[in-house]
Homo-oligomer: A and B are copies of this chain.
Amino acid sequence: MKKDNNDKNNLMLNKKLSRRDMLRLAGVGGVGLLLGGGAIGSLLASDKKTTSNASTILSQDQDSIPFYGAHQAGIITPSQNFICFAAFDVITDNVSDIRKMFQKWTTASATMVSGSLIGNVNDNPNLPPSDTGEAAELSPSRCTITFGAGPSLFDARFGLQNKRPPSFQELPPFKADSLEPEWCGGDLCVQVCADDLQVAFHAIRNLARIARGTAVLRWTQEGFQRSTQADPKATTPRNLLGFKDGTANPNVTDSKLMNEVVWSQSVDGTAWMTGGSYMAVRRVRMRIEVWDRSTLKDQEDTFGRHRHSGAPLGSKDEFDSIKLDALDATTGKPVIPSNSHVALAHGDGSIQMLRRSYSYSSGLDLKTGQLDAGLLFISFQRDLQKQFIPIQQRLANNDKLNEYAVHKGSAVFACFPGTTEGGFIGETLFGGI
């Protein structure tokens, strides 16, 4: 995209009309009266339009992330601090209802990630407000909203059987799975991430509201990771076991690599998914109380990394290469235990995927009196069969971490390619129907 002065002016306009300012404009007896509702409406419409133009020139360390683009945001976007994840079940049997919902979801999402309220702030007092309002005055907070379809969407209900990507199906059972139905599956998913949890909650809630009559929430999970805002120099975030998580992620700024690892390609044979990505999500409960009683050595042997530095065992730096063949001079055993998490996840290094996980803490498990806390594991990949599944099979069979982690929830979603303004997310699948 070209940067020109006009774009910069649009950006200024966009900046000037934040959620906060629009509220002020529309305040009781405010400019709304001076300009009349129609003028406010045009201002808002104009603002909405410039948002998507201007946002393409915003870099990702700024507060607003573009909604429109070749790919959906929220996949290779650097992780925000919070997630509200929701799986939905479709309750209509009419695919055109789904299409209409995605059209509304797209417009609402583009508005919300720009930091605006949905609809006209001068709401008719005799109707429900068009926006639930709890994100008023809050900044865009790098909010991203990412949509996907589960394998069940391609069953007989909607006539989409022939559209299912051949390699896209429910995950096979893994050894040591302890799945609970209330944390599994879903016809659709919405992943909202933002640096402000209230902004993320607001998005999920308004999308659920828009879905009324077409889809209902099946399960939701909030998550967090360390705040980059509180410490902008912070590096790889730590999970709730105290270890850095995500060190070995592929470089999201390498677009050739992203095409190999993350984005579905036209040669993969499913045209509607070209530019999309497949998500695996697992709700992994951590046995925190047991972990906290294990020794530091046991913890480091479990991960295969030093806790403080994040370096592979026997190395000094977090980003040192994983040397699985290094042997301890005294014992003759591998320095990095072969059943450690890093050894099994890394394998021969030939399989990569993009992890984008969040910690979760959901109060007490009343059955055990222990904390229901752990990891909402999320990965994106070009092909689940070739990436997530073989890695997870290795881990499920042998990972020493399985003593401390239990997979309670599981789902996979085909996350659509992006769309441009005027189009809608999911149009490659639902558009021609």
Contacts and interface: CB of A to CB of B under 8 A. Distances in A.
A296 interface: yes
A366 interface: yes
Contacts of A129: 242, 296, 299, 307
A197 interface: yes
Contacts of A133: 238, 241-243, 307-308
Interface string A219-242: 111101111011101110111111
A1 interface: no
A429 to B, nearest CB: 26
A321 B224 CA distance: 39
A210 to B, nearest CB: 11
B295 A126 contact: yes
Interface stretch (A135-143, A150-158, A249-257, A267-275): A135-143
Contact of A197 (B131, B224, B295, B369): B224
B84 A121 contact: no
B227 A138 contact: yes
Contacts of A199: 230
A361 interface: yes
Contact of A26 (B23, B201, B308): B308
A266 interface: no
A21 to B, nearest CB: 11
Interface residues of A, number: 87
A293 interface: yes
A237 to B, nearest CB: 8
A136 B242 contact: yes
A369 B233 contact: no
A227 B195 contact: yes
B125 A300 contact: yes
Interface in A272-299: 288-289, 292-297, 299
Contacts of A138: 226-227, 230-231, 234
A433 interface: no
A127 B300 CA distance: 12
A281 to B, nearest CB: 14
Interface in A297-328: 297, 299-300, 306-309, 311, 316
Nearest to A201: B361
Given A28-B306, A126-B295, A199-B230, 9 more contacts: A128-B296, A129-B296, A132-B242, A135-B226, A136-B242, A138-B234, A205-B240, A217-B369, A221-B363
Interface of A: 20, 23, 26-29, 63, 82, 84, 121, 123-129, 131-139, 141, 182, 195-199, 201, 205, 208-209, 216-222, 224-227, 229-231, 233-235, 237-243, 288-289, 292-297, 299-300, 306-309, 311, 316, 359, 361-364, 366, 369-371, 373
